[in-house]
Amino acid sequence: MKEYISAKDIRYQLANLKQLTFEVTDACNLSCKYCAYGEFYNDYDLRENKNISLPAAIKMINYLVELWNSEYNMSATRTVFISFYGGEPLLNMPFIKSIVQYVENIEVKSRNFVFSMTTNAILLQKNIDYLVKHNFNLLISLDGNELNNSYRVYKTGKPAYTDIKNNIDTLLQKYPEYFKTKVNFNSVLHNRNSVEQIYKYFKADYNKIPSIGELNNMGIRENKIELFRQTYRNTYQSLYQAENYEVIERDMFLKSATYQSITAFIHQYSGFVYRNYTDLIFGNDQKKSIPTGTCVPFSRRLFMTVNGKILPCERIGQQFELGMISESEICIDLDAIANKYNSYYAKFDQQCHKCYKTKACIQCIFNIPKLEEDHPICPGFVNETEFLVYKSKQMNFLRNHPEEYYRIMENVIVE
């Protein structure tokens, strides 16, 4: 089997990890209809109102500390985000406080630690002071106004909007500077809101630009496919239905799909952008080609689930675990991980060689249907005709908005 990545490559990524995310609990105080762990999906572990093991989480940290202090660490200084996810993480504050205390007392000279959390804000008020004291980056889940947010409900079916809104406003009033610099919003697009409505709501109420994401279209239960389709909305289509979509798109900048696409095009196809000095001297084509746009394991983050599973991120099905952490042992076999990825890559090698958009590919292997079969088909495949349409679209945008080229080049750092 061809080797695209090795255990050494994975060890390097762990030693230079950017984000460690804990699934603090699988419990939640809301019952959002489209939740990734809700009724639409079947690719996650059973929700049992379970909390993550503190000893196992500390064992995970210690494993990484050893790598951060090893010869594989290539960073003189690096910011590492210690992130808390759920379920609703604020339901397990004892764990969060214990991890924060532990991390603040470990010695890794080459690392600066920043804490972050994704929360539904239901328990925000009672924990505001602690979060501000430890300078947490907060990502609050909210879909817009009361109607826009009406899929976010308590388990009784009672709408949660008023409580969420009151808690956010309390945070804003009590700590305005913290709110300005440390609080951001994440909205899910669905059939009860639109990109325009979400944008206007956050701009007017908080002067913020939210991240707007579509519903995950993987792991859907067969008996929920039709309901999912009724709920799902496409961000491009929703944006272009707005009367002043160009203004919205320009203000959203890299939080819009268009600017993400343009940025990838400039950096991958212009031939004038270099990630580092080595690329400048020897060219961009020296890098080993890996099929699909899948991240090398742990190149962006490591996600530890409430059951101790190790995943490359929280956005993929939990059946794709790469290891396990328990209170007694760590089972992370880097050779086995490399072999697993190499077997997946091999399935798409021929497709990728024929694809015209390989340099700007964003297709994650774990979001490809029937991955475990012998010949899965990549939905991100682009033929020559489709690529020319894509290229023409990007060039027309830059031709019509030349100022945006300079804006992208001045603001975007590619790692």
Specify the pairing of strand 330-331 against strand 309-311. Answer: unpaired
pLDDT band at 376 (very low <50, low <70, confident <90, very high): very high
Half-sphere exposure of residue 131: CA atoms within 13 angstroms, side-chain side: 27
Range of the domain at 143: 8-252+297-337
pLDDT tens digit sequence for 184-207: 999 999 999 999 999 999 999 999
Q: How far apart are CA 188 and CA 168, in angstroms?
A: 18
pLDDT tens digit sequence for 48-106: 999 999 999 999 999 999 999 999 999 888 999 999 999 999 999 999 999 999 999 99
Domain count, the chain: 1
Residue 382 in any domain: the answer is no
CATH number at residue 48: 3.20.20.70
Q: Average pLDDT in the 125-143 region?
A: 98
Would the pLDDT of 283 be above 90? no
Beta carbons within 8 Å of 386's beta carbon, 6+ residues apart: 356, 357
Residue 190 in any domain: the answer is yes
Specify the pairing of strand 211-213 against strand 183-188. Answer: parallel
Q: How far is CA 233 from CA 188, 201, 215, 216, 260, in A?
A: 9, 18, 8, 11, 19
Which helix (H) or strand (E) covers residue 137, if one does? strand 137-141
Would the pLDDT of 324 be above 90? yes
Would the pLDDT of 278 be above 90? no
Beta carbons within 8 Å of 253's beta carbon, 6+ residues apart: 209, 259, 407, 411
Q: How remote is the C-alpha of 381 from its chain's centroid?
A: 22
- The sign of the CA dihedral 264, 112, 90, 41 is positive
The answer to whether 403 and 374 have CB atoms below 8 angstroms apart is no
Residue 319 in any domain: the answer is yes
Residue 193 in any domain: the answer is yes
Residue 285 in any domain: the answer is no
Average pLDDT, the chain: 93
Residue 45 in any domain: the answer is yes
Residue 200 in any domain: the answer is yes
Q: Average pLDDT in the 153-162 region?
A: 97
Residue 391 in any domain: the answer is no
Q: What is the pLDDT of residue 415?
A: 47
Beta carbons within 8 Å of 70's beta carbon, 6+ residues apart: 15
Q: Average pLDDT in the 330-351 region?
A: 97
